[in-house]
């Protein structure tokens, strides 16, 4: 069983930067793709970014393109989400999610594709 734990959330000023981490523990022998999602109060959980096992391919939702970067270090079993030029609309609880992959497939944007989730970390952008 794999457990995911997000960290790095907090309060940041608009225009500032913040980097989130997602550490995987337990049985991590099999390859897996990772996604980042976020959920604001009263809203549904939305896709943010995703990365395949090798890290060669990434996808982003339009609202974060050019500002956010997802990366990973498999030797450390950790995935990152670097957030730059942050805006008030980025305020949400951020979740990482994993799905086993074959042939280094790139995951999609649907939360239904992912079967393992972290507890989330709160990100608040002040203006």
Q: Which residues contact 95 (CB under 8 A, 6 or more apart)?
A: 6, 36, 37, 38, 39, 45, 117, 118, 119, 120
CB of 68 within 8 A of CB of 87? no
pLDDT tens by residue, 97-109: 999 888 899 999 9
Separation of alpha carbons 24 and 64, rounded Å? 24
Percent of the chain with pLDDT over 70: 98
Residue 31 class from Cβ within 10 Å (0-12 exposed, 13-18 middle, 19+ buried)? middle
Please tell me the predicted confidence (pLDDT) of residue 102. 81
């Amino acid at each position: 069983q794999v457990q995911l734990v997000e960290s790095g959330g907090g309060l940041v000023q608009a225009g500032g930067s913040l980097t989130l981490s997602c550490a995987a523990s337990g049985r991590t022998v099999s390859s897996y793709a990772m996604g980042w999602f976020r959920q604001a109060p009263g809203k549904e959980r939305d896709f943010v970014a995703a990365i395949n096992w090798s890290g060669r391919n990434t996808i982003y939702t339009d609202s974060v393109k050019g500002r956010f970067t997802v990366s990973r270090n498999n030797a450390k079993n950790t995935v990152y989400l670097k957030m730059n030029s942050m805006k008030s609309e980025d305020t949400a609880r951020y979740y990482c999610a994993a799905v086993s992959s074959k042939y280094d497939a790139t995951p999609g944007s649907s939360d239904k594709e992912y079967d393992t989730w972290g507890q989330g970390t709160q990100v608040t952008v002040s203006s």
